[in-house]
Amino acid sequence: MIVVDRLGNVKTNGENQNNLLKKIYGTFLGRCALKILVCKFVSNLGGWYMNSSLSKHRIDSFIKENQIDMSQYEQKEYTSYNDFFTRKIKLGKRPFLIDDNVLISPADSKLTCYKINKDSHFTIKNTLYSINDLLMDEKLASDYINGYCLIFRLTVDDYHRYSFIDDGKIIKSKYIPGKFHTVNPIANDFYPIYKQNSRNYTIIESKNFGTMIQMEVGAMMVGRIVNHEKKYCLKGEEKGYFEFGGSTVIILLKENQAVIDDDILENTNKDKETVVRLGETIGKKY
């Protein structure tokens, strides 16, 4: 899938990773190795290494290779790669509009948006997904027919902390154990990743966008999805963070709750992901 910014410029960062994933997911030997890579034990082992001081040497080369502007982040001495990976951004570097009519992005990410059809399904690159498969709750899934499924894919160079997109009350949270496939679109050609991967979702009675769902999806080498325990949430307030690896945040909105920006919908229809940042406006109240 092509990645573009809001001006339509194509972004090419991550080609080396894409080539590696094509070899893993696109070949017989690669898929044999994949059975080991996606299991929880291997993900936990990778998480242990990334949390240890042994991983510190990876930080400088990663910053250089991905051209990360470290002036945006709080300055500190990192004790491990995961300590660096979960770094906090400086106050004011991800501003957002307080306006109740504005829908904002929950994370720095690559965004696609899909209409949920009358059978509570949506399609990503010819792969059919069911909202019931995603939520493991048929009754709840039926509430989102004709609504939107917004998929915010975080890559390793993104800021891996995510926020609430509106004020509201936390109704329920649910964890669904699963595998740890990469969330790169390449994997979607071979596996229905969003109904196989480990995930956690929160039902929120929001102030401006109805009863919405915010879900975090774990991915290859992500040992933990870390959510803060809350009963109420505020727009722009940190909801949690991912430890090492690419990851995804999914927002489910009911019918007639939001109008998504045209460029995002047009890009999705053309199999393009749109680069957005935490707090950036992506739509408005219906």
Report phi then psi at 109, rounded to 5. -170, 180
- How far is residue 22 CA from its own chain's centroid? 21
Mark whether 108 is an active-site residue: yes
Length of the chain: 286
Three-state DSSP string of 155-215: CCCCCCEEECCCCEEEEEEEEECCECCCCCHHHHCCCCHHHHECEEEEEEEECCCCEEEEE
φ/ψ (deg, to 5) at 11: -105, 135
Q: Catalytic residue among 108, 143, 158, 261, which?
A: 108
Active site residue 119: no
Q: Please, which residues have CB within 8 angstroms of residue 62's CB and are 6 or more apart in sequence?
A: 68, 81, 84, 156
Task: Please tell me which residue in 109, 143, 247, 261 is annotated as part of the active site.
Answer: 247
Of the candidates 198, 285, 204, the one whose C-alpha atom is nearest the C-alpha of residue 248 is 198
Query: In sequence order, what E strands does the chain have?
Result: 2-4, 10-11, 102-104, 109-115, 121-124, 127-130, 148-154, 161-163, 168-176, 199-206, 211-217, 225-227, 232-233, 238-242, 247-253, 258-260, 272-276, 281-285
CA distance 276 to 94: 11
- The closest of 62, 54, 31 to 245, measured between CA atoms, is 62
Q: Determine contact, residues 1/185, Cβ cutoff 8 Å.
A: yes
Residues taking part in catalysis: 108, 247
